[in-house]
Structure 1
Amino acid sequence: MRPRPSFAGAAVEVSDLGRSVAFHRLWLPMLGFRRVWAGPDRVMWARGYDHFVMRQARDGVSYGPGALWLAVSAESRAQVDQVFAEMRDAGAEILQPPKELDYFAPGYYSVAFRDPDGVPIEVAHRWDELPEVSDAEQVRVPGHGVTLGGYLFRPQAGAPPHPALILLHGFAGHAHNLVGLARRATANGYVALALSLRGWLGSEGESDQGLRQPLDVLAAIDWLAHRPLVDPRRIGLVGASMGGQVALLTAAHKPPIGAVAAYFSPTDLAAWREANPFIRDYLDDLCGPEGLPVRSPLLRVAQIDTPVLLIHGDRDENVPVEQSLSMAEALRTHGKDVETLIVSGASHYFTEQEYGVALRKLFEFLRRHLNRS
């Protein structure tokens, strides 16, 4: 059993953001923290789902109520509620009653209040492991030197063996994010393995933005191919953002798969670094310049023989649409089988309507390449 973390997150206001970044990067990387996001007035460091935010104080003044924000972990949601009741009865200023938050960490439920000196404190419960899903088998899948957590969904009709999909999430995600897509897949006749990539909820190891994660997926393909309900000749990969990048890199190893679909995925990390200044610190700290090419599917197109579908919004503010357009052009230049769906007006986060358009294209593509016996 891994020890429960006591630290959930913290934020501080600093008088000089540049000076503070230079100072804190002397020690935070030693503890496994990486700069995952940077903006003009704030920087976020993360270690898995633990986070540390530095904000530039107004007028360079950082010493006063609100200059520090601290979040500590609770053992359960009931404990969060208990803290709330205690603080309310003590007359503390309640900043936020207990509620679920769509936050960096999964399953986040918290209460926030001020201490007598005005410092904001948050008490939060978040998932330590993947939660159970009633209509799926929770599985442990061998990866490349690590064990991966996930869910195995079975089709709702039809006799085995079935075509199968491995579903891969984006940065800071996990297998539970993929439950809805997995259910859509089973309704269309597929076995679906929703998988947490290394370093994310339910899986061992550290996230590496596509370095060893494709080797984990290769091992997962072999594991899935040996399930008795799966037709090993009809397996496909579907990934979003980092998951799509990992799916494309996996395909370059020439595994026995029949299709790959990638949603709004980075394909040329050097170009992505130049196009999006907010992820430069993250890529520099994690990869370094020498680590970008090996993580770039665009440089591996000659090795990809599997039919590819690339889906992207033309207003993506995180991963520019040029990442998919360049990948598609390179694949076509090498005589590869590639299709694209560019969703007009869509950002990196599809609306329900945009997601529906993409799903129709996805399953039409998969039927053509995986539903043949």
Structure 2
Amino acid sequence: MDAPAKSAVRLMDTSRFWRSPAEARLLTADGVTLHAEYLPPARGASSDAASEVAVVLAHGFTGAVERPAVRRAARVFARYGGVVTFSFRGHGRSGGLSTVGDREVLDLDAAVAWARSLGFARVVTVGFSMGGAVVVRHAALCGGVAAAAAVSAPARWYYQGTVPMRRLHWVVMRPLGRVVGRVGLKTRIDPNEWTEIPLPPVAAAAQITVPLLVVHGDADPYFPLDHPRSLAEAAAAASPRPELWIEPGFGHAENAATESLLERVATWVTAPVSAR
């Protein structure tokens, strides 16, 4: 799925929830129902700008709205604005089957549309691992966001240069692996391989026209540092202000992200346009 057609996403009327937590079922453009939650800006949020920006968080592969690391990240980002979390297709209480970064762009687009329906002037996206790849691809293919941040994201598909990634490929590509994914990891994976190779994150980065932050740890066990460096280098061709942070000792994605790192990402991604 390279260039999804923009089509209306059916949403419940959520405008009344702007100042209180809410839960919703979102319908993607291709008919998948997603579980999503909204967390309003925390009391004493960092500035008045918090009432103007919504952060949409995209979890990593095998994550979900209810996972502790996702809820922790949501609470941190709520200090800077409203927060929408959602479970990708095939994850948690969402329907459908995971396509591991392809049609998940439509899931993120539905969550962005919900955030916008709540009345926020600006919507930004932050993704972790697979969610980071989706954030990059969504910004390039769909647009409509003010800034994006990709944390621990891969730059290209089919990478198997590390032991964790070889294990992940076994889970995704093998029938027994998909059983393990469904039973052990609570992730339902589409057994059909991609018929067309989706636009790789590194190619999508070259098409992003909004500020992009790439964050990666030098202790990431999944993707080595050539992944974030190639994303940032590609983004420099179009993004007005790409930044690359290589974090000492940081492992992988939302499970390893410290509160201080999440705070720094939140500060960057929610900064007003005039401050960039």
Is TM > 0.5 for Structure 1 vs Structure 2?
yes
The 5 Å alignment of 1:222-301 reads 222-228=113-119, 230-231=120-121, 234-270=122-158, 272-275=159-162, 276-282=165-171, 284=173, 288=193, 291=196, 293-294=197-198, 296-301=200-205
How far is 1:279 from its partner?
Answer: 3.2
How far is 1:371 from its partner?
Answer: 8.3
1:329 counterpart = 2:233: yes
The 5 Å alignment of 1:34-113 reads none
Segment drifting more, 146-155 vs 174-183: 174-183
SS of 1:175's equivalent in the other structure is coil
- Residue from 52, 67, 85 that aligns with 1:162: 52
What is the alpha-carbon distance in structure 2 between the residues aligned to residue 289 and residue 222 of structure 1? 26
Q: 1:245 to 1:223 in 2, by over 3 A?
A: same
SS of 1:256's equivalent in the other structure is coil
How far is 1:215 from its partner?
Answer: 1.5
- Residue from 108, 114, 117 that aligns with 1:217: 108
What is the alpha-carbon distance in structure 1 between the residues aligned to residue 241 and residue 265 of structure 2? 15
What is the alpha-carbon distance in structure 2 between the residues aligned to residue 295 and residue 333 of structure 1? 17
Matched-pair contact (CA < 8 Å) for 2:132–2:149: yes
What is the alpha-carbon distance in structure 2 between the residues aligned to residue 370 and residue 202 of structure 1? 35
What is the alpha-carbon distance in structure 1 between the residues aligned to residue 259 and residue 124 of structure 2? 20
What is the alpha-carbon distance in structure 1 between the residues aligned to residue 147 and residue 56 of structure 2? 11
How far is 1:257 from its partner?
Answer: 0.7
2:243 counterpart residue number: 339
1:360 counterpart = 2:245: no
2:14 counterpart residue number: none
The 5 Å alignment of 1:22-37 reads none
- Residue from 200, 215, 221 that aligns with 2:91: 200
Residues matched between the structures, number: 231
2:37 counterpart residue number: 151
2:182 counterpart residue number: none
What is the alpha-carbon distance in structure 1 between the residues aligned to residue 73 and residue 273 of structure 2? 17
What is the alpha-carbon distance in structure 1 between the residues aligned to residue 166 and residue 109 of structure 2? 32
SS of 1:211's equivalent in the other structure is coil
How far is 1:345 from its partner?
Answer: 2.3
Query: What is the TM-score normalised by the length of structure 2?
Result: 0.74
1:183 counterpart = 2:56: no
Query: What per-residue deviation string (whole Å, max 9, x for no partner) do you get for residues 193-230 of structure 1?
Result: 011111111111101111111012112222221224x2
1:305 counterpart residue number: 209
Matched-pair contact (CA < 8 Å) for 2:25–2:36: yes
How far is 1:297 from its partner?
Answer: 0.9
What is the alpha-carbon distance in structure 2 between the residues aligned to residue 237 and residue 225 of structure 1? 12
How far is 1:252 from its partner?
Answer: 1.0
Q: 1:182 to 1:273 in 2, by over 3 A?
A: same
SS of 1:265's equivalent in the other structure is coil
1:137 counterpart residue number: 22
Query: What per-residue deviation string (whole Å, max 9, x for no partner) do you get for residues 227-281 of structure 1?
Result: 24x22xx1000111111111111111242111111110112114x2345433343
Q: Which has the higher strand share?
A: 1
Matched-pair contact (CA < 8 Å) for 2:209–2:239: no
How far is 1:337 from its partner?
Answer: 2.3
Q: 1:220 to 1:269 in 2, by over 3 A?
A: same
Rg comparison, structure with higher value: 1
Query: What per-residue deviation string (whole Å, max 9, x for no partner) do you get for residues 345-370 of structure 1?
Result: 22226787x61342232123123246
Q: 1:159 to 1:314 in 2, by over 3 A?
A: closer
What is the alpha-carbon distance in structure 2 between the residues aligned to residue 159 and residue 254 of structure 1? 25
Query: What is the TM-score normalised by the length of structure 1?
Result: 0.56
Q: Report the identity percentage.
A: 27
User: Which structure exhibits the higher relative contact order, with contacts defined as CA atoms closer than 8 Å and separated by 6 or more residues?
Assistant: 2
How far is 1:180 from its partner?
Answer: 1.6
